[in-house]
Chain A
Amino acid sequence: MRLLVLLRQLLDPAGMLVNRKAGKVFVNREEYMINPADKRALEAALQIKDATGAEVVAAAVGPARTEDALREARALGADRAILIKEDVAAPAGRFYEALCDSLGDVDLILTGDSALDTGEAVGPQLAEMVNMAFLGNAVQCALEGAVVRIVRRDVRDATQRAYNGVEADLPAVVTVTRSGPTPRYPHGGAIIEMYRDPEAVEIMTAADLGLDDSALQPAVVERGQSFPPEREFGKQMTVEEIAERMTP
């Protein structure tokens, strides 16, 4: 049984300051973190590993600094970590697809439902590309034999407290939300070990995955930055006023 967890590394918003007057984002401390939903997807994978002994492979696409996210994943308990070292804003889907091919027999792919910074959601399309079943927005995820079962919020319920379960046959892609399982903390000793082990993270390039230059073209070119207009305070209304407005 092999689980593949796709991680994205992004700037920690705690180190950023938005200045509306200057129309700029200032980065005070350039610190990076694992996308929170991805970290919960990793936790879901590690819980499956604890229960079944499955192999967990963590993977990420990005520049050299992305190694930090993968070393953290190893310290948390991932058996292998693969960095696809490409420092371009390239469509990551191509890399993930190629990685699945190169790894072979991946039974379950887990990743966050979206990225905190860009909102990007690779899960649904990736499932199509690798021809696997797709289960989205999991808050819990478990394996039973060759069936993956998730719990997700029931969007038909107004109280937002109802959940429902769905299942799919493996192989499957599951995306986990930021309400997914609470990530564990790594043992400090595991962090030190994973940083001192030169082979903790395997490095691959596009060429290693059999991808040519066309896979490396960025899909979007940044032209500039703009901010949404500042919101004004709403008006407080009495029940009577609201009722008056609602009467046709």
Chain B
Amino acid sequence: MNYDLPPEYNALRRMLREFITEEIAPVAKKIDEDSVVPPELIRRMGDVGFFGVPFPREYGGMGAGELGYCIMMEELNRVCPSVATIIGAHIGIGVMSLYLDGSKALQQKYMPDLCSGRKIAAFALTEPNAGSDAAGIQMRATLEGDSYILDGQKMWITNGPIADVINVLALTDPALGARGGATVFAVEREWAGYTPGKPESKMGLHGSPTSLLNFDEVRVPRENVVGQIGLGFVTFMKALDIGRASLGAATLGGAQASLEASIRWARTRQQFGRPIAHMQSIQFMIADMAAEIEALRALVYRTAWLIDNGRPFIKEAGMCKLLGSETASRCIDRALQIHGALGLSRDFTIERGFRDARISEIFEGTNEIQRIVIASELMQGVGVRIRP
């Protein structure tokens, strides 16, 4: 067994960390305050390959696989969860659904622009009445000549306000419902009838815009069907399965940032005549954080290895998301406690980290859904089929 990263991944992590430290860290606070990521930063990140890490070089990606993608998400979320979320939704589910099941022609049309960050992707599944119950979607797609007409509304769509290409799930056969009657369509921002809503005002992730999407008789040519007609739900579930591993990697970065900030502060802050690092209460919190982070790191990178080597990974990816988001929440909570009142100040990163962390327990499948995913994988092993 070898726990060392291959040398190319060490070099990649080093470059990413340098870019993130030099170019993103100085503006992370401003991104949160202004609720916008500067387009110039997006462009520069695109030039380095941030927007296409796991995808092949021929499409302008890095060709770095799930392992490289997890490394990038860990490093990015360690410093700026807003930017990490834009990229996570873009790569992990948005472009991924195109890459997994899209036709060669569709991939050639969109992926070069998407992998270079010139265009941003979104993944539109959730509806006002279909959240955890994703199979309960109502949006319709009706065949009319050589096109489908899309009608309906999507909600809480990450990248909604900025996305150029939107992969959206709609019912082509309402009688069959999501299982057998839903299809994925790639919709372009400029098409008539498509209007993204205004960005939601959220507790955290201020730089990552989220909105509802309105589809009012949007005409989509047949060649923009992603994957097979009727099997769209499967495509989306596959993308979500993979996305969970990299989301776990992102939470790992967030937890790591909490630990590093806590250690720094424990060394500096003096109470009762010595640094608080000498207090057992502080030591215990830091030790617990470090132990949980180490376990999470092992799980995340093993899952990336499973994916890159074509092994079954659905259970482990669910665990990455579940364990990762809860670890990150616990770690930022402890970091806030260690920082005391200062942790609440907007002048420190802890307050922003606290607001940014909570969503990870909710999006890309709530943690309750993750537990069902993990349990059903386990039960299938003994012949029990669980349906939510």
Contacts and interface: CB of A to CB of B under 8 A. Distances in A.
A189 B57 contact: yes
Interface in A185-218: 185-189, 191-196
B11 A68 contact: yes
Given A191-B8, A195-B8, A196-B8, A186 B62 contact: no
Nearest to B48: A185
A195 B11 contact: yes
Contacts, number: 52
Interface stretch (B14-22, B152-160, B342-350): B14-22
B15 A191 contact: yes
A72 B47 contact: no
Contact of A192 (B14, B18, B63, B72): B63
Interface string A63-75: 0000010011001
Nearest to B23: A185
Interface size class of A (residues with CB under 8 A): 10 to 19
A189 B62 contact: yes
A192 B49 CA distance: 12
Contact of A188 (B6, B7, B12): B12
A31 interface: yes
B68 interface: yes
B12 A192 contact: yes
B53 interface: yes
Contacts of B18: 185
B64 interface: yes
Interface size class of B (residues with CB under 8 A): 20 to 34
B19 A195 contact: no
A75 B18 CA distance: 15
Given A193-B57, A195-B7, A195-B11, A188 B68 contact: yes
Nearest to B49: A188
Nearest to B71: A188
B64 A192 contact: yes
Contacts of A189: 49, 57, 61-64
A49 B269 CA distance: 51
Given A193-B57, A196-B8, A188 B62 contact: yes
A192 B68 contact: yes
Nearest to B64: A192
B11 A191 contact: yes
Interface in A151-197: 185-189, 191-196
Interface string B277-296: 00000000000000000000
- Of A186, A187, A195, chain B has the most CB atoms within 10 Å of the CB of A187
Contact of B15 (A31, A186, A193, A196): A186
Interface string B1-35: 00000111001101110110000000000000000
Contacts of B15: 185-186, 188, 191
Contacts of A193: 57, 63
Interface in B62-104: 62-64, 68, 72
B11 to A, nearest CB: 5
Interface string A127-140: 00000000000000
B57 A71 contact: no
Q: Which 3 A-B residue pairs are closest in the complex by CB-CB distance?
A: A195-B8, A188-B49, A189-B62
Interface of A: 31, 68, 71-72, 75, 185-189, 191-196
Given A189-B63, A192-B12, 4 more contacts: A68-B7, A187-B49, A188-B64, A189-B61
